Amino acid sequence: MPTQHNMSHLPFGDHKNAPWYGKDILSVKQFGRENLEYIFAVSHEMHDMVDHIGTFDLLKGKILANLFYEPSTRTSSSFTAAMERLGGSVIPINDVKYSSVAKGENLADTVRTLECYADVIVIRHPEVGSAAIAAKAARKPVINAGDGIGEHPTQALLDAFTIREELGHLDGLTITLLGDLKHGRTVHSLARLLSLYKVKLNYVAPDILRMPAELIEELKAKKIEQTEYSGLETCLPQTDVLYVTRVQKERFTDEAVYESVKGAFVIDPKVLKAAKERMIVMHPLPRVGEITMEVDDDPRAAYFRQMEYGLYVRMALLAMVLGKA
């Protein structure tokens, strides 16, 4: 009986003194292990609530402005779904070319405008640091949904949640990040977030797309074991999580250079023969050929489940910054 679901045991209600109330989410650097445990617990409850009652009124009357300067399917629609599942509503600016940005309005003014109408702003923008600029201009919470090659913190949170749900824990795992590690904001955020745990990180990339040296140094200072490879052969058999990424075409200035690396790694059933039986394959998506569709039926293919987990994590984050969790 959906409407009789008992919410009394849940950590929901008015939490105006809660640490995340009114806060921006700009980088994974803001989170510690205890925050992650809390986010995972709330996300888990959100999953349960969606399964049992679908939509409920935790954020009734609240409004989210979804401001996207770059294309998106998952992030944009899962934030919309998250807000609507919680009883709130959304101002969708999914293509800024139909907004006054096309007339030359700057980021700060755009954000100041939206916060007159909304309680929280989600922003994706091609420039590193843009979410921080937006947050500085706004009094309302701003959530970074991807700032150029910088960070994609809500993706990293849902990635960590996925690993937890699928494998039960993060400590002790070997995680192999594959593909465009230079431009991939998801791997930049995820590697940083994983450094809160006792993990081994492998980086597999074409030479021109290697993990940025500063990020490697940052994690080295945290005593994270990191190894770079030019191919998967040596590290795949030890891997618990294979995190595949798309070569980020939109970050290349020379199309010929993109063409030379775009097909560098393709995961197909033959490649996965060398992988453990208990491991998962993840991908932030969209994929454009780096995982073949034949892999989809393999129980280790977790990438579609991963994007569903994103809904629950974003519901948790919205409830937190709006003082309801």
Q: Which of residues 259-288 bind ligand CP (CB under 6 A)?
A: 284-286
In this structure, which amino acid lies at residue 229?
Answer: Y
Please identify, using beta-carbon distances, which residue of 49 and 181 lies nearer to ligand ASP. Answer: 181
Q: Which among ligand ASP, ligand CP, none contacts residue 185 (Cβ within 5 to 8 A by kind)?
A: ligand ASP
Q: Which among ligand CP, ligand ASP, none contacts residue 154 (Cβ within 5 to 8 A by kind)?
A: none
Taking the C-alpha atoms of residue 181 and residue 212, their distance in angstroms, rounded to an integer, is 7
Residues lying near ligand ASP in the complex (CB under 6 A) are found at: 146, 152, 185-186, 246, 248, 284
Give ∠ CA 251-245-76 in degrees, rounded to 5: 75
Q: Which among ligand ASP, ligand CP, none contacts residue 100 (Cβ within 5 to 8 A by kind)?
A: none
Please identify, using beta-carbon distances, which residue of 74 and 85 lies nearer to ligand CP. Answer: 74
Q: Which among ligand CP, ligand ASP, none contacts residue 148 (Cβ within 5 to 8 A by kind)?
A: none
Q: Which among ligand ASP, ligand CP, none contacts residue 246 (Cβ within 5 to 8 A by kind)?
A: ligand ASP
Are 148 and 212 contacting, i.e. CB atoms less than 8 angstroms apart?
Answer: no
Taking the C-alpha atoms of residue 28 and residue 13, their distance in angstroms, rounded to an integer, is 25
Q: Which among ligand CP, ligand ASP, none contacts residue 73 (Cβ within 5 to 8 A by kind)?
A: ligand CP
Task: Kindly report each contact of residues 274-277 with a partner whose C-beta sits within 8 Å and lies 24 or more positions away, as own/partner.
Answer: 274/232, 274/233, 274/236, 274/237, 275/236, 275/237, 275/239, 275/242, 275/300, 276/237, 276/238, 276/239, 276/240
The answer to the question of residue 245 lying near ligand CP (CB under 6 A) is no
Taking the C-alpha atoms of residue 307 and residue 100, their distance in angstroms, rounded to an integer, is 31
Please identify, using beta-carbon distances, which residue of 47 and 246 lies nearer to ligand ASP. Answer: 246
* In the complex, least distance from residue 248 CB atom to ligand ASP, rounded to whole angstroms: 6
Torsion-angle region of 323 (φ positive above 0: left; ψ -120 to 50: alpha; else: beta): left
Are 315 and 51 contacting, i.e. CB atoms less than 8 angstroms apart?
Answer: no
Taking the C-alpha atoms of residue 239 and residue 221, their distance in angstroms, rounded to an integer, is 23
* In the complex, least distance from residue 64 CB atom to ligand ASP, rounded to whole angstroms: 18
The answer to the question of residue 75 lying near ligand CP (CB under 6 A) is yes
Interacting stretch for ligand CP, rule CB under 6 A, among 1-9, 71-79, 174-182, 224-232?
71-79
Nearest to 85 by CA among 127, 45, 131: 45
* In the complex, least distance from residue 131 CB atom to ligand ASP, rounded to whole angstroms: 13
**Residue 167: enclosing H or E segment and its boundaries?**
helix 153-167
Are 286 and 9 contacting, i.e. CB atoms less than 8 angstroms apart?
Answer: no
* In the complex, least distance from residue 77 CB atom to ligand CP, rounded to whole angstroms: 8
Q: Which of 55, 73, 100, 227 binds ligand CP (CB under 6 A)?
A: 73
Please identify, using beta-carbon distances, which residue of 75 and 239 lies nearer to ligand CP. Answer: 75
Judge residue 288's burial from the number of C-beta atoms within 10 Å of its C-beta, 0-12 exposed, 13-18 middle, 19 or more buried. Answer: exposed
* In the complex, least distance from residue 193 CB atom to ligand CP, rounded to whole angstroms: 15
Please identify, using beta-carbon distances, which residue of 239 and 248 lies nearer to ligand ASP. Answer: 248
Please identify, using beta-carbon distances, which residue of 19 and 286 lies nearer to ligand CP. Answer: 286
The answer to the question of residue 155 lying near ligand CP (CB under 6 A) is yes
Judge residue 134's burial from the number of C-beta atoms within 10 Å of its C-beta, 0-12 exposed, 13-18 middle, 19 or more buried. Answer: buried
* Residues at the site binding ligand CP, with contacts judged by CB under 6 A: 72-76, 155, 284-286
